[in-house]
Amino acid sequence: MHRSYKYIVVTLTILSFLFISGPARSDTGKIHWLSYKEGIKKIKAEHKKGYVHFYTSWCTYCKLMDKQTFNDKKVIKYLNENFIAIRVNAEDKANRAIVRRYSAYQYPFNIFFNEDASGIGNRPGFIPPDMFISILKYLHTDSYKKISFSDYTEKQ
């Protein structure tokens, strides 16, 4: 009996270690959203481009973007690897100054930042996954400094 008890304890220890450190804890299937303040600091600290998504709870196209664009595996992977993703609830009173600062009054409202947190540009409205990936690649590769987005997409 003593021996089987030892076996159970060792097995449970190994299983709990695997559960804690294994892929079950991985959150690579989701976008790593940060608050505005955290995200801006991280953009500057890591010298990565940034993306800010303004949304509301009542916005149909915000929900569609959550369902389609932000659940697309390619979008998740590319955004997490190459950008700092920031999510701002435009209805939250604590975010009013941020909403005013960027005139984010149409939802969803999407803003893209350089590595120093200066603005590159914005795009209000729903962005489907394929177009979103194209925009991210266009900005990440600094192609926006050389050619128009329409020329960039034609070459792809």
Joined together, the tokens standing for residue 93 give 């009173």
Full-model pTM: 0.81
What is residue 48's three-state secondary structure? coil
The predicted structure's pLDDT at residue 17: 39
Joined together, the tokens standing for residue 148 give 């128009």
User: Running along the chain, 156 residues long, what does each successive block of 10 average in pLDDT?
Assistant: 47 38 52 98 98 98 98 98 98 98 97 97 97 98 96 92
Domain spans of the chain, in order of start: 29-155
d(CA 152, CA 93): 39
Core vs surface per residue 104-115: b (16+ CB within 10 A) or e: beebbbbbbbee
Q: Which CATH architecture has domain 29-155?
A: 3-Layer(aba) Sandwich (3.40)
